[in-house]
């Protein structure tokens, strides 16, 4: 024992040694006994209790040194067993530990009384296991005693005796083992027991404010005690409607009085009133109203000890009866009206008829404005303090004013859920509506939680705020609501009772763990009694509690960090561990960058009801708001970035009250190497290095591009120079070719002159060949060269090309051979370009092959390709020259070579470009002094060509162009190209000439539009002997002269200043007065696109330079002949002038370079009438049809209607039909007369007047002049 001044030690033979703390000396205190002292305890400040092993115990007075001895001999209550120890409780009662099963003695020093307590134990069990004595007091002052051998009990001080704690032998309430090894009470008063058979057990002591009133069984009722309705009347009696149909009544002391019978009595016997009561209420007059499911509305008026029962039912034939028999609610408003909510007929209110009968006002009669279709199923009705009635329905809520005079004037406002509108109702099924004392209105919904009315606008638009499980509700399924005296709302839900604080918008939930017994709410039944009790109907009876008696615990449980897990692995403290101490003792947790996936477990040490503890956490540095974790006691974070974080966690206690027990843990995530300052220095260095490399590469690219650009510019300068020269040479060459051709046609020329002219013609062809190659390069460079691919027999094609070189081979004594594995081999190729390829290769072969050697051309077929090759035994190519073999403007051989020939250096380069356009490849195998072999590999099929390639389908053989001349020295072969001629402009038609043209004698007029004076003079010389020629120096001049002279044919150049030939053609075709004139275009543009463009704009022919003068003359004569035929055709078809369009004229176009032979054009089909000409003739014929019977019709009438001049009308009509206007009118009349005669419906006199010839004799004369017979003879001939 220790006191403030001494330390006392018990010894044998009653001796006690006392050590003086201040002096450090021992003194001896002797107790008069020979027994051993087992314990020393201070009962009071002056009284010590000394126990012994064989002689009971002594009460020793420290001041007087007096001893009072209590032994089994002198004190019968004290068991004759050794006292092993003693315990002094807070009331100074001394309890003794003795090895007597189920027995414990205690001593009161104040009274000096010893009392022995005995409890039942299993003696045999005690002998074997010997449960130890244990005694302690809890925080609530209860003394818990476990005697030796068993019998755990608490000490009832009022009774001054031990009371067994649910473990007395033979007790029906035996809950714990009789053998307790130890017991402990924590700070919350929870009792922890270590039992022999059940391990560790915890007992929590709570004051339960909830109770359940279960109806007594009755012979008329089933075992179902589910409550459907509750109400306390003015006398304090409780009316309870059960699911089985009985209405039980309890008095103010909750003593069962009986049930409501059909006769109106409250009795324990008799027939119960019919109908399951869903709502019970008492109005201001004391009348009870009972709403039943399916059995209408019952009115119960008390008369003495009984009730007069009146039942109101729905009558389909009576519109003033109850609207439906399923009544869910009854309510009395502030004006004393009784309102009834039915589940299929909307709402009703009771009124009196003129004869005093009770009638129901509803949608079937006077309540016309009620929205019955959407709101026929109503559940609840009430009113607020602002004079509005509220109705809960399955489709939302309805409100309307209660201070109405006529029900017809009522205006109803319906509120329902609007999808995606958070300010509308959260759910349409409204079970209960509660107006509070603070003028707030709450709606309980079945599935949408709680709703609060925020505002209602004048137009009836409502705004609501909803509360759900997320906000703290135990369930979103709410059944009923009540308000207590403090303004708190109490709600029955599917998951227990909930208390809502409107001011704090906070929920407190009470589930089965808090209530301590099972309860399930299923119906909207509740009431608030006069004593302040809340009652809710449940499936087991009436759930009762007093809101004021419910107190939440204020206990603040400490929070501990229990476990750390990294990558789903538990981290335990240790030397090589991340944790050096327990996690709960760690203030800062440092993790590496690859340990940023971790979990922290935590727990609030509230042992009363730990399952009800809720948690909230936040990681500062990552999360801004607290996260509700509910009952989850761990949190996991993944992929946290480097930085400093603070983990915060807080909790509620077991009663759900949030307390101030926040716990923090600092967490540091270290950066990875690539996030360290050193890494950023390296990044900067890398960026600078990349910038340096990029700049260097860009500079190199720029330098290379500049070099390439310079080379390209030089090449372009060369090409542009040659192109410009070619453009300038093209027209002069035309002027050479034309006259030479004309002279060579003279068979009487001297032989020496003829030979010299042939030399002139051959050299002209050489120059054209050079021009063509240069311009082909230009087109390739500008990507204007188009492919026209068709299927070609390459074997026969190559043979025909070789025929052009046979004379050269014979002249130079060269063996010229052809090798082909098949007689026919078809490929998809561009004929023109293939011809250029083969010609160039053969030209080079003959140019560099000495006399007496051999040149071989071969065509070979492989699996996927066809090869065309030219092999010679020429001088070969030096190895150093092979790389620049296909470079333009490069010579093939060394300029000092003995075999050197004149070369432009563009032949092979052009070949390579043309080969690549075919998606083919060209290879060369050459050895200096031995010869060369050029081979081209073409792919089979046509799938390898691009989509924009034009394919030509032609089953005929592809002939070579005629008249091509091969000159080996200069490799000159004429081919098509594109040339733009630019020449000076001269005025070539004098005033005298123009006047001569105007005074024409019937000779056809030709208009020449050409800006080159020499070419214009040449053309004039060709046609001046046959036609009246008018000259124009450009397109503008040509347009004005065409309008002025209306020529019979126009020949125009395409490329001219001011207005080109294409534009001139378009304007002439669009102009009514000139649309009929044939137009021939002369141009250096030879591509198919250029030809199509000219023809699309209305040109009758498109002839390329250089052209054959003979061909041009023949084409002019042919076009004019067509016009004359067209006149005859139109003349014969005047009555059906809308003819079908003729097919296009297919006229072979003479290829450039064809100067030795000429092809006379074939007779074309009848040309199509232009759109303007067709309109002109259609309008003219229409006018004649309208005025055919008008004998006074003159030419001026037609000119006025057509809005053209007389001269234009005369010229155009003459050109189109060959008839003068007067002749045209007469022709139309006679043709119509012939039609009328053929019809056989009229006589000759009638027909004469019908066609505008008022003199029958003159009609007969004109008809005979036209047809060769009189009208009568014509009729007889037709009749036969």
Residue 978 has pLDDT above 60, yes or no: no
Which DSSP symbol is given to 1166?
P
Residue 746 has pLDDT above 70, yes or no: yes
Residue 902 has pLDDT above 60, yes or no: no
- State the CB neighbour count (10 A cutoff) for residue 717: 10
Residue 1159 has pLDDT above 60, yes or no: no
Model pLDDT for residues 680-714, shown as the tens digit of each residue: 899 999 999 999 999 999 999 999 988 888 877 77
3-state per-residue secondary structure call for 375-415: CCCEEEEEECCCCEEEEEECCEEEEEECCCCCHHHCCCEEE
Q: How much is the pLDDT for 101?
A: 85
The burial of 704, by beta-carbon neighbours within 10 Å (0-12 exposed, 13-18 middle, 19 or more buried), is given as exposed
- What percent of the chain is predicted at pLDDT more than 70? 86
The token duo for 606 is 């509230």
Model pLDDT for residues 633-671, shown as the tens digit of each residue: 999 999 888 999 999 999 998 887 888 999 999 999 998
Q: Cα separation of 461 and 601, whole Å?
A: 49
Q: What beta strand segments (E) does 264-366 contain? A: 266-267, 277-282, 288-292, 297-303, 306-312, 327-332, 338-342, 347-352, 358-361
**Which of 192-196, 479-483, 522-526, 1086-1090 is least confident?**
1086-1090
Residues 6+ apart with CB under 8 A from 48: 1, 8, 40, 41, 42, 59, 60, 62
Choose between 493 and 1173: higher pLDDT: 493
Q: How much is the pLDDT for 775?
A: 67
Q: Cα separation of 99 and 911, whole Å?
A: 126
Place of tokens 């003693």: 86
Do 1173 and 1137 meet the contact criterion of CB atoms below 8 Å apart? Answer: no
Q: Please, which pLDDT band fits residue 953 given cuts at 50, 70 and 90?
A: low
Which DSSP symbol is given to 940?
S
Q: Could you tell me which of 541, 476, 550, 479 has the C-alpha nearest to residue 510?
A: 550
Do 451 and 436 meet the contact criterion of CB atoms below 8 Å apart? Answer: no
Contacts 24+ apart (CB under 8 A), 806-811: 807/966, 808/846, 808/966, 808/968, 809/846, 809/855
Q: Which domains does the chain have, with CATH numbers?
A: 6-203 (2.130.10.10), 559-675 (2.60.40.10), 787-952 (3.30.565.10), 991-1169 (3.40.50.2300), 1176-1279 (1.10.10.60)
Residue 1131 has pLDDT above 70, yes or no: no
- What percent of the chain is predicted at pLDDT more than 90? 38
- State the CB neighbour count (10 A cutoff) for residue 387: 12
**Which of 581-590, 762-771, 915-924, 1008-1017 is least confident?**
762-771
- State the CB neighbour count (10 A cutoff) for residue 1115: 24
Angular region, 738: left φ>0, alpha ψ -120 to 50, beta rest: alpha
- For 483, list phi and psi in degrees, rounded to 5: -110, 130
Do 443 and 451 meet the contact criterion of CB atoms below 8 Å apart? Answer: yes
Model pLDDT for residues 584-593, shown as the tens digit of each residue: 999 999 998 8
Q: Cα separation of 1083 and 1064, whole Å?
A: 14
Q: Cα separation of 1188 and 1182, whole Å?
A: 10
CA-to-CA dists, residue 459 to 236, 413, 414, 442, 455, angstroms: 44, 9, 11, 21, 12
Pairing of strands 338-342, 627-630: unpaired
Q: How much is the pLDDT for 905?
A: 56
Residue 134 has pLDDT above 70, yes or no: yes
- State the CB neighbour count (10 A cutoff) for residue 653: 24
Q: Please, which pLDDT band fits residue 557 given cuts at 50, 70 and 90?
A: very high
- State the CB neighbour count (10 A cutoff) for residue 95: 21
Do 181 and 195 meet the contact criterion of CB atoms below 8 Å apart? Answer: yes
R_g of the chain, CA atoms, integer Å: 63
Q: Could you tell me which of 1194, 764, 725 has the C-alpha nearest to residue 981?
A: 725
Q: Cα separation of 931 and 924, whole Å?
A: 11
Q: Cα separation of 980 and 691, whole Å?
A: 50
**Which of 198-212, 298-312, 1042-1056 is least confident?**
198-212
Average pLDDT over residues 983-995: 35
Q: Please, which pLDDT band fits residue 472 given cuts at 50, 70 and 90?
A: confident
Tell me the DSSP string of 90-153.
TT--EEEEES-TTEEEEEETTTTEEEEEE----HHHHHHH-PPPEEEE-TT--EEEE-TTS--E
Contacts 24+ apart (CB under 8 A), 118-124: 119/147, 119/150, 119/151, 119/153, 119/162, 119/164, 119/168, 120/151, 120/164, 120/168, 120/169, 120/170, 121/147, 121/149, 121/150, 121/151, 121/169, 121/178, 122/150, 122/169, 122/178, 122/179, 123/149
**Which of 196-210, 777-791, 947-961 is least confident?**
947-961
Peptide bond preceding 376 in cis form (omega within 30 of 0): no
Residue 888 has pLDDT above 70, yes or no: no
Which DSSP symbol is given to 937?
E
Place of tokens 């244990």: 134
Q: Report CA 89 to chain centroid distance, whole Å.
A: 77
Residues 6+ apart with CB under 8 A from 1072: 1172, 1175, 1176, 1204, 1212
Average pLDDT over residues 1069-1091: 78
Q: Cα separation of 890 and 880, whole Å?
A: 13
Residue 46 has pLDDT above 80, yes or no: yes
**Residue 457 in 3-state DSSP?**
coil
Average pLDDT over residues 465-493: 93
Q: Cα separation of 154 and 138, whole Å?
A: 11
The token duo for 792 is 């070609």
835 - beta bridge partners? none
Q: Please, which pLDDT band fits residue 964 given cuts at 50, 70 and 90?
A: very low
The H or E element that residue 508 is part of is: strand 506-510
The burial of 301, by beta-carbon neighbours within 10 Å (0-12 exposed, 13-18 middle, 19 or more buried), is given as middle
Residue 1162 has pLDDT above 60, yes or no: no
Do 1039 and 1068 meet the contact criterion of CB atoms below 8 Å apart? Answer: yes
Residue 1111 has pLDDT above 90, yes or no: no
- For 872, list phi and psi in degrees, rounded to 5: -125, 170
Residue 78 has pLDDT above 50, yes or no: yes
Q: Cα separation of 1027 and 1021, whole Å?
A: 11
Average pLDDT over residues 738-767: 76
Q: Please, which pLDDT band fits residue 382 given cuts at 50, 70 and 90?
A: very high
The burial of 1198, by beta-carbon neighbours within 10 Å (0-12 exposed, 13-18 middle, 19 or more buried), is given as buried
Q: Cα separation of 229 and 240, whole Å?
A: 6
Alpha helices in 458-569 (DSSP H): 512-515
Residue 900 has pLDDT above 80, yes or no: no
Q: Could you tell me which of 202, 211, 217, 115 has the C-alpha nearest to residue 159?
A: 115
Average pLDDT over residues 342-369: 94
Q: How much is the pLDDT for 1227?
A: 80
What's the mean pLDDT when you consider all of the chain? Answer: 83
Q: Cα separation of 50 and 67, whole Å?
A: 10
Q: Cα separation of 1204 and 632, whole Å?
A: 100
Which sign does the torsion angle of CA 889, 890, 892, 896 carry?
Answer: positive
């Amino acid at each position: 024992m220790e006191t403030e001044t001494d330390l006392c030690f018990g010894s044998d033979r009653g001796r006690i040694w006392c050590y003086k703390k201040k002096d450090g000396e021992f003194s001896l205190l002797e107790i008069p006994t020979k027994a051993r002292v087992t314990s020393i305890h201070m009962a009071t400040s002056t009284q010590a209790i000394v126990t012994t092993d064989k002689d009971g115990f002594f009460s020793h007075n420290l001041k007087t040194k007096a001893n009072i001895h209590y032994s089994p001999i002198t004190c019968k209550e004290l068991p004759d067993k050794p006292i092993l120890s003693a315990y002094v409780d807070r009331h100074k009662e001394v309890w003794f530990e003795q090895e007597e099963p189920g027995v414990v003695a205690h001593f009161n020093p104040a009274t000096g009384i010893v009392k022995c307590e005995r409890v039942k134990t299993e003696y045999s069990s005690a002998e074997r296991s010997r449960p130890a004595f244990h005694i302690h007091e809890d925080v609530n002052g209860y003394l818990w005693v476990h005697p030796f051998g068993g019998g755990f009990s608490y000490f009832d001080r009022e009774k001054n005796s031990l009371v067994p704690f649910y473990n007395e032998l033979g007790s029906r309430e035996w809950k714990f083992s009789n053998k307790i090894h130890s017991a402990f009470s924590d700070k919350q008063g929870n009792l922890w027991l270590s039992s022999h058979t059940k391990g560790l057990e915890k007992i929590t002591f709570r004051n339960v404010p909830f109770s359940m009133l279960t109806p007594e069984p009755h012979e008329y009722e089933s075992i179902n005690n589910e409550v459907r309705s509750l109400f306390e009347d003015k006398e304090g009696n409780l009316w309870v409607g059960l699911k089985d149909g009985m209405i039980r009544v309890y008095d103010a002391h909750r003593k069962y009085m009986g049930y409501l019978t059909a006769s109106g009595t409250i009795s324990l016997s008799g027939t119960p009133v019919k109908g399951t009561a869903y709502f019970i209420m008492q109005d201001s007059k004391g009348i009870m109203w009972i709403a039943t499911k399916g059995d209408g509305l019952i009115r119960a008026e008390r008369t003495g000890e009984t009730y007069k029962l009146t039942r109101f039912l729905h009558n389909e034939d009576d519109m003033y009866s109850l609207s439906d028999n399923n009544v869910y609610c009854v309510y009395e408003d502030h004006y004393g009206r009784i309102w009834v909510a039915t589940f299929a007929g909307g709402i009703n209110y009771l009124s009196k008829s003129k004869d005093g009968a009770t009638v129901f006002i509803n949608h079937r009669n006077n309540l016309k404005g009620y929205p019955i279709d959407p709101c026929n199923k109503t559940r609840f009705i009430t009113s607020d303090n602002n004079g509005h009635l509220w109705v809960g329905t399955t489709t939302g809520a309805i409100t309307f004013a209660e201070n109405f005079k006529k029900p017809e004037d009522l205006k109803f406002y319906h509120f329902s859920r609007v999808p995606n509108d958070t300010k509308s109702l959260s759910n349409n099924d409204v079970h209960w509506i509660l107006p509070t004392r603070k003028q707030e209105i709450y709606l309980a919904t079945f599935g949408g939680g709680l709703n609060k009315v925020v505002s209602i606008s004048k137009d009836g638009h409502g705004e609501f705020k909803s509360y759900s499980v997320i906000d703290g509700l135990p369930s979103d399924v709410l059944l009923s609501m009540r308000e207590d005296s403090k303004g708190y709302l109490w709600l029955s839900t599917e998951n227990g009772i909930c208390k809502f604080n409107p001011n704090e918008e906070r929920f407190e939930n009470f589930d089965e763990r808090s209530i301590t017994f099972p309860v399930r709410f299923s119906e909207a039944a509740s009431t608030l009694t006069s004593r302040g009790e809340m009652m809710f109907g449940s499936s087991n009876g009436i759930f009762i509690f007093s809101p004021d008696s419910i107190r939440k615990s204020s206990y603040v449980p400490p929070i501990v960090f229990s476990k750390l897990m990294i990558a789903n692995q538990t981290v335990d403290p240790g030397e090589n561990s991340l944790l050096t101490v327990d996690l709960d003792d760690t203030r800062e947790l440092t993790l590496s960058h690859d340990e940023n996936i971790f979990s922290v477990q935590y727990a609030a040490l509230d042992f009363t009801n730990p399952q009800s503890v809720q948690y909230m956490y936040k990681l500062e540095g990552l999360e801004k708001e607290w996260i509700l974790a509910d009952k989850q006691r761990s949190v996991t974070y993944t992929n946290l970035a480097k930085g400093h974080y603070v983990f915060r966690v807080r909790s509620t206690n077991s009663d759900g009250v949030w307390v101030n027990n926040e716990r923090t843990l600092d967490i540091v995530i270290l950066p990875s190497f690539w996030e360290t300052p050193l890494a950023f220095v390296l990044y900067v260095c890398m960026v600078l290095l990349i910038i340096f490399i990029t700049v260097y590469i860009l500079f190199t690219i720029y330098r290379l591009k500049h070099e390439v650009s310079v080379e390209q510019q030089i090449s372009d300068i060369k090409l542009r120079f040659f192109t410009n020269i070619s453009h300038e040479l093209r027209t002069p060459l035309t002027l050479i070719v034309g006259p030479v051709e004309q002279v060579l046609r003279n068979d009487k020329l001297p032989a020496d002159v003829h030979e010299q002219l042939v030399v002139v013609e051959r050299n002209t062809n050489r120059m054209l060949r050079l021009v063509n190659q240069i311009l082909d390069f230009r087109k390739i460079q500008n990507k204007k060269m188009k492919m026209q691919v068709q299927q070609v027999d390459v074997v026969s094609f190559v043979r025909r090309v070789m025929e052009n070189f046979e004379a050269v081979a014979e002249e130079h004594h060269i063996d010229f051979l052809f090798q082909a594995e098949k007689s026919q081999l078809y490929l998809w190729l561009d004929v023109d370009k293939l011809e250029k390829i083969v010609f160039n290769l053969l030209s080079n072969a003959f140019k560099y092959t000495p006399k007496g050697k051999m040149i071989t051309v071969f065509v070979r077929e492989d699996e996927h390709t066809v090869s065309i090759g030219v092999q010679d035994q020429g001088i070969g190519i030096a190895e150093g020259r092979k790389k620049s073999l296909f470079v333009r403007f490069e010579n093939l051989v060394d300029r000092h070579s003995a075999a050197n020939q004149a070369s432009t250096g563009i032949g092979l380069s052009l070949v390579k470009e043309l080969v690549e356009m075919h998606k083919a490849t060209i290879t060369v195998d050459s050895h200096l002094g031995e010869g060369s072999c050029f081979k081209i590999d073409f792919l089979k099929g046509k799938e390898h060509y691009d989509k924009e390639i034009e394919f030509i389908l032609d089953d005929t053989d592809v002939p070579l162009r005629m008249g091509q001349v091969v000159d080996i020295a200069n490799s000159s072969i004429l081919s098509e190209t594109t040339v733009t001629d630019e020449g000076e402009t001269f005025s070539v038609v004098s005033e005298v000439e123009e006047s001569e043209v105007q005074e024409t004698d019937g000779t056809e007029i030709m208009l020449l539009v050409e800006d080159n004076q020499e070419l214009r003079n040449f053309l004039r010389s060709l046609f001046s002997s046959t036609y009246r020629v008018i000259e124009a120096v450009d397109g503008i001049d040509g347009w004005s002269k065409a309008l002025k002279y209306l020529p019979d044919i126009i020949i125009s150049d395409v490329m001219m200043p001011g207005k080109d030939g294409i534009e001139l053609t378009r304007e002439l075709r669009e102009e009514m007065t000139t649309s009929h004139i044939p137009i021939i275009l002369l141009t250096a543009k030879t591509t198919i696109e250029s030809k199509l463009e000219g023809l699309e704009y209305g040109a009758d022919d498109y002839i390329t330079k250089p052209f054959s003068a003979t061909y041009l003359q023949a084409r002019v004569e042919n076009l004019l002949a067509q016009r004359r035929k067209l006149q005859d055709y139109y003349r014969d078809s005047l009555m059906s002038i809308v003819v079908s369009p003729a097919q296009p004229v297919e006229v072979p176009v003479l290829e450039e370079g064809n100067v030795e032979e000429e092809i006379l054009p074939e007779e074309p089909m009848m040309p199509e009438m232009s759109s303007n000409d067709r309109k002109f003739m259609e309008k003219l014929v229409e006018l004649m049809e309208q005025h055919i019977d008008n004998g006074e019709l003159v030419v001026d009438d037609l000119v006025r209607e057509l809005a053209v001049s007389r001269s234009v009308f005369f010229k155009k009509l003459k050109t189109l039909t060959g008839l003068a206007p007067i002749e045209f009118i007469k022709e139309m009349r006679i043709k119509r007369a012939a039609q009328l005669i053929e019809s056989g419906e009229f006589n000759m006199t009638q027909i004469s007047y019908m066609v505008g010839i008022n003199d029958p004799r003159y009609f007969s004369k004109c008809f005979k002049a036209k047809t060769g017979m009189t009208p009568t003879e014509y009729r007889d001939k037709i009749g036969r």
